[in-house]
Structure 1
Amino acid sequence: METSNDTGAARPPGRRRVVIGAVALAVVMASALTVTAWENRDGKPDTAGGATVRVATAVVTRGDLSNAQTLDGTLGYGRTTTVKGGKAGLITWLPTAGRTVRRGDPLYRVDDVPVPVFYGGTPLYRTLETEGTTGPDVRTVADNLRKLGYDIGAQPPVGTWITPRPATPDDSGNRPSTTPEAGPSPSTPTSPPLRAPVRVGRGDGVLTAGLVAAVKRWQTAAGMPPTGVLGVGDVSVQSGAVRVDGVQAQLADAADTPLMTVTSTVKSVTVEVDPSAAGSMRRGDRVTVSLPDGSTAQGTITAVGTAVRLGDASAGDGDGGQPRLTVGIALRDSAVVRGLNSAPVRVRFTSETRKGVLTVPVGALLALREGGYAVQLPGGRLVAVRTGMFSKGVVEISGDGIGAGTKVVTTS
């Protein structure tokens, strides 16, 4: 009994029908191509009764294959941070845009008293005057004075119990030279405490007599009143050296308002990416940056943002209101951009590389109805293959009898 094919024509007896289709990949092919063929018992396709398709041959090649994308970026000094004064008074001096301010240097002056830069992660959030005061803000002061070359004395180790106590001026007007009482437990007898005993934790500093003395010496050298006391706004705590990006305040403005914007002193590249594309980007991945003069520089991803923002279509930034994540890139050699402060760049991201693999054009792949893929040799024989990475219109393959130089049929 004869059976009919999809068009109603009689199927030749003794042949097994196989439907083969070219792989349709949205990223590399605009449309799918379907070929109907009958396979003889010798493994060769017989296109009798099927469609005729224009084909060509391609050679299987061996080489490196990578998933890469190139995106627009911006060379600059990274994101800006607004500096707001922390205490009352009038601004009497401001830096110029482009100035670099390092540890111990004044960032601005209030009532003709300098406000120096300290490095750290915790700003001064209270007045530091009571010996025995413990916390990360004290650690900021201790670390910076030590880095500036001042002897601050020994700091109590982690786990020590400290009882803060008043430090009132003596008859000579100086602070008494006392040391916070320390002991293995808060039960150690002490004079009437100002506060309950506290335990020194990791990241804490303790305001000892030695640290207070160092503060006085530093204040004298910095042109500040040598009181040994530091209050909120007496120093500006930054993550490191800063570059003044722009100054908003003017002389005689109130000091407790936004004064200026600062950036890092190191040039870097930022790229706004679609959140779906950021999934393959990791800290430490290497990238290639194409500069406006046609040269390239190597970079490393230092940060992949987690806060999604919407691109401002009205600003003409090309995002069209689409969600974006910011990726930060450090240049391995900043000398290549010495003459540039800001510039548009192109960044090539490579998420995966396959070394020494066999590849063919995607059009050489045939999707078998029973699953999997095959390639067709010029003589008509089909060879099953396994696929790997797809990139830029080619695909990694492996299979029995397939090697570099093998010719295969591909769409044309």
Structure 2
Amino acid sequence: MTAVERRHRRTRVLVGGTMAAATAAAAVAAALGFGGGESGATTPRRDMPAATAHVVRRTLTDATNLSGRLDYGATAPIVSRATGTVTWLPPVGSLVGRGGVLLRADDRPVPLLYGALPMYRALAEEAEGPDVLQFERNLRALGYTGFAVDEEFTKFTAAAVKRWQRDLGLPATGSVGVDQVIYGPGRVRIAQHSVRLGASADAQVLTCTSTTKVVTADVQTTDAGWAIKGTKVQVRLSSGASVAGTVAAVGDEGTAGLGESGESSSGTSGGQDSDGGSESQDDTVTVTIAITKQKALRGTGPGTVDIRYTAERRENVLAVPVVALLALAEGGYGLEVVKNSGADSGPRTRIVPVRTGLFAEGLVEVHGPGITAGATVGMPE
């Protein structure tokens, strides 16, 4: 059986026509005298593929590439319950840590303390509870001693509070009002002023971000299957250097503002929309990628970066263009292998069944008898 006859029994993957149709059309044209040749001339039988490609040995990578932005991540509001007028705010871009001042109201400092519980009541002698423990831990971390760090606000705690208040320039009352501190998860970077000097201090006064740089990307929900917390990625910076990253959050996670106890201020990116409808396929989800080696980001300002997630990587495999595959009538796939010019007489091609592996980059990994690097295979026109 010739190669042409064998090709009549097979269809080439992703190709709309067949060689059989082309051969039949040529035969009809010749019979009717439309072949363009001289009378009595015969059309030579074709025994070579229309085009060819070579089997290559290389590394195949199934990867997702997308653009993201390097900056300090999502912003969160800083809400003050202080009474009076805002008389000072920290500069945008400055860092505020435990005990640092987030604002001054009527020229009284309102410091940042660390903790998950908001300041929901005044603390004074005989107060008990986890909020007392949280406050005392902060007081101890700021260097004040002479009291037990527990859930009881004692006279010894009050004495330490008085020392702290005097150091801040506040009246030494020994008690702490709800308007005197703001709790947050840790050190913050001031992103924006939400009010001007002279505004009421009982309001959202600032927005803040994390102090570490992260990469964020808005990904179509239909394409975000890879974005799972803990997934490893590579981030290519504007300088050309690459750094390792890890998916830290998907959607609006952990963006509740400082001084707030309610829902995240950043809204939602999934589930139901504001009208109660279901999420559409065009919606996006924000993927946040943490960069462990922050030193690698020194000197790199906010800007666009490239993100690469590698789902699978196959090294040193044989590959051909996907369109070179033939769907065999008996099932599976094959390749039309072209014989060397010095081979024995007979058909110039033969069909070799192959096993396929990874599909990536327009190529497919193949394994089969006689399939070697450099071999020539048939391709559609």
Once the two structures are superposed, the pairs formed by residues 292-311 of structure 1 within 5 Å of their partners are 292-305=238-251, 307-308=268-269
The residue identity in structure 1 corresponding to 2:120 is Y
2:132 to 130, 134, 138: 138
What corresponds to 2:209 in structure 1? Answer: 263
Say whether residues 1:346 and 2:306 are aligned partners.
yes
What corresponds to 1:111 in structure 2? Answer: 106
2:177 to 223, 231, 234: 231
What corresponds to 2:333 in structure 1? Answer: 373
Q: CA deviation at 1:102?
A: 1.0
Contact 2:7/2:19 (<8 A) preserved? no
What corresponds to 2:97 in structure 1? Answer: 102
Say whether residues 1:127 and 2:117 are aligned partners.
no
What corresponds to 1:86 in structure 2? Answer: 81
Distance 1:229 1:34, change over 3 A: farther
TM-score for the superposition, normalised by structure 1 = 0.68
1:54 to 42, 50, 53: 50
Contact 1:74/1:345 (<8 A) preserved? yes
What CA distance in whole angstroms lies between the structure 2 residues aligned with 1:152 and 1:406? 83
What CA distance in whole angstroms lies between the structure 2 residues aligned with 1:153 and 1:36? 94
Q: CA deviation digits over 1:91-129, x for unaligned, max 9? A: 122112111111111111122221111122222112222
Say whether residues 1:23 and 2:19 are aligned partners.
no
Long gaps (5+) in structure 2: 22-43, 253-267, 272-280, 340-348
Q: CA deviation at 1:273?
A: 0.8
What CA distance in whole angstroms lies between the structure 1 residues aligned with 2:190 and 2:228? 30
What CA distance in whole angstroms lies between the structure 2 residues aligned with 1:103 and 1:20? 73
TM-score for the superposition, normalised by structure 2 = 0.73
1:391 to 360, 365, 376: 360
What corresponds to 2:198 in structure 1? Answer: 252
What corresponds to 2:189 in structure 1? Answer: 243
What CA distance in whole angstroms lies between the structure 1 residues aligned with 2:352 and 2:327? 12
Contact 1:281/1:351 (<8 A) preserved? no
- Structure with the largest fraction of helix: 2
Contact 1:58/1:410 (<8 A) preserved? no
Q: CA deviation at 1:60?
A: 3.9
SS in 2 for 1:381: strand
Q: CA deviation digits over 1:241-300, x for unaligned, max 9? A: 111111132222111112121111112211111112211133333333333344444433
CA RMSD of aligned residues (A): 3.3
SS in 1 for 2:246: strand
Distance 1:148 1:359, change over 3 A: farther
Q: CA deviation digits over 1:336-358, x for unaligned, max 9? A: 44334421222222232233333
SS in 2 for 1:396: strand
Distance 1:308 1:36, change over 3 A: farther
SS in 2 for 1:214: helix
What CA distance in whole angstroms lies between the structure 1 residues aligned with 2:366 and 2:201? 67
Say whether residues 1:74 and 2:34 are aligned partners.
no
1:151 to 121, 142, 145: 145
What CA distance in whole angstroms lies between the structure 2 residues aligned with 1:106 and 1:254? 17
Q: CA deviation at 1:66?
A: 1.6
- Percent same amino acid among aligned pairs? 40
Q: CA deviation digits over 1:188-234, x for unaligned, max 9? A: xxxxxxxxxxxxxxxxx444555444333322323333323223232
Contact 2:125/2:158 (<8 A) preserved? no
What CA distance in whole angstroms lies between the structure 2 residues aligned with 1:370 and 1:87? 80
The residue identity in structure 1 corresponding to 2:357 is G
Distance 1:214 1:384, change over 3 A: farther
1:283 to 195, 217, 229: 229
Contact 1:77/1:341 (<8 A) preserved? no
Q: CA deviation digits over 1:163-198, x for unaligned, max 9? A: xxxxxxxxxxxxxxxxxxxxxxxxxxxxxxxxxxxx
What CA distance in whole angstroms lies between the structure 2 residues aligned with 1:52 and 1:404? 20
Long gaps (5+) in structure 1: 1-10, 25-30, 38-47, 157-204, 311-320
